[in-house]
Amino acid sequence: MMKILKVPFLAAAIVAGVCGLGTVAMAQQTEVKLGYALAENSHYGAGAKAWADYVEKETNGKYKFRMFPSSGLGGEREVVEGLPLGTVEATIVSTGTLSNFVPEVGATDIPFLFRDLQHARSVLDGKIGQDVLGKFDARGMVALAWGEQGFRHITNNKHPITKPEDLAGLKLRTMENPVHITAFKTLGAAPTPMAWPEVIGALQQGTIDGQENPLSVIVSAKLNEVQKYLTLTGHVYSPAMILMSKKFYDGLSDDEKKIFRDGAAKGRDAMRAYVDNVEKTGVETLKTAGMQVNELSAEQKEGFQKALKSAYDQYYEKYGKDLIDSIIAAK
């Protein structure tokens, strides 16, 4: 629910009050609760800060973000569910559960779809990506921009992965994401969908053997403390999304809507800058922290792509071969 803080924010109001200039309507500050899954020093924290700084400055402090990092408002599904209800104003989330709300998001979660970060960014910022964002309005949310996590890699406590057969029987935590679950089932793993707040504990207790996430997450969540092996599979690009409650957004003036949108673009850029940096430095950081890291040769990577053929048949059926081929062919 939108919380109005009884705090003066306009210098004029303060001056008027101090100078006793008669009755001046006290301006009010509106709180924007922003929940996200990771720590403040993550790519989500960077995006949230850039967004908040811009909005707070451009609205002269009329809107004040209150950050809830590290799943402070619950798991991603719960936070997303709070947006249409208006119990949460804003979030930055992975696409983990988003295709359960807007099925078209799933097309962006297909393994080995994007060649590199630039390819993903240009598709998501282009018509295909923007059309998907537009579908959130009907679900009581406003999707302002695509954020980014990077390419996902597999970590585990059993052994290095070099071929799909190495996944056999591996209890691998996945997001609650049907596209990813199909892929890992097809590869022969035992995918265990689980909300993020439970993952570190489950890895510590050994109820799961491994998980998969981009370097941005592996480094910022210090997964090296609970995982021995990192295989640079880069099996899927992991987008993120910057979302608001439609209830809240609809109450903004047109100028304010533009400020929130422009601020979200700043948040997206900050996330991408963070990812660019961690893609360069993350592997070294994790090796220094004691992780055993292996890369896949082009041939080994092809082994994973080939093994996903029947999963791709399912994706073609669900999202349309034309759409998937046009994403793959995009420059």
H/E run at residue 269 = helix 254-288
CA neighbours closer than 13 Å in the CB half-sphere of residue 89: 23
Q: Which is nearer to ligand PAF, 76 or 89 (CB)?
A: 76
Antiparallel, parallel or unpaired: β 3-5 and 29-35: antiparallel
Q: How near is the Cβ of 2 to ligand PAF at its closest, in Å? A: 25
Please answer whether residues 111 and 238 qualify as being in contact, where contact means their C-beta atoms are separated by less than 8 angstroms: no
Backbone angles phi, psi at 205, to 5 degrees: -80, -10
Binding site for ligand PAF (CB under 6 A): 37-38, 76, 93-94, 96, 149, 175, 196, 213, 217, 238
Please, which contacts does 250-257 make with residues 24 or more away whose CB atoms are closer than 8 Å?
A: 251/2, 256/59, 256/62, 256/63
Q: What residue number has its CB nearest to ligand PAF? A: 94
Q: Which is nearer to ligand PAF, 76 or 209 (CB)?
A: 76
Q: Which is nearer to ligand PAF, 56 or 76 (CB)?
A: 76
Q: Which is nearer to ligand PAF, 58 or 176 (CB)?
A: 176
| Closest listed residue to residue 229, CA positions, set 154, 149, 151 | 154
Q: Which is nearer to ligand PAF, 29 or 213 (CB)?
A: 213
Q: Which is nearer to ligand PAF, 90 or 217 (CB)?
A: 217
Q: How near is the Cβ of 111 to ligand PAF at its closest, in Å? A: 15
Cβ atoms within 10 Å, residue 185: 14
Question: What burial class does residue 60 get, using C-beta atoms within 10 Å of its C-beta: 0-12 exposed, 13-18 middle, 19+ buried?
Answer: exposed
Q: How near is the Cβ of 79 to ligand PAF at its closest, in Å? A: 10
Q: How near is the Cβ of 133 to ligand PAF at its closest, in Å? A: 17
Q: In angstroms, rounded to a whole number, what is the distance separating the alpha carbons of residues 310 and 307?
A: 8
Number of residues written out for the chain: 331
DSSP string, 125-180: HSHHHHHHHHTTGGGTEEEEEEEEEEEEEEEESS----SGGGGTT-EEEE-S-HHH
Q: How near is the Cβ of 114 to ligand PAF at its closest, in Å? A: 16
Q: How near is the Cβ of 217 to ligand PAF at its closest, in Å? A: 4
Q: Which is nearer to ligand PAF, 9 or 136 (CB)?
A: 136
Token pair 């997303």 in the structure block, residue: 80
Q: How near is the Cβ of 214 to ligand PAF at its closest, in Å? A: 7
242 vs 95, 239, 315, CA distance in Å? 11, 10, 25
Q: Which is nearer to ligand PAF, 96 or 282 (CB)?
A: 96
Q: How near is the Cβ of 174 to ligand PAF at its closest, in Å? A: 8
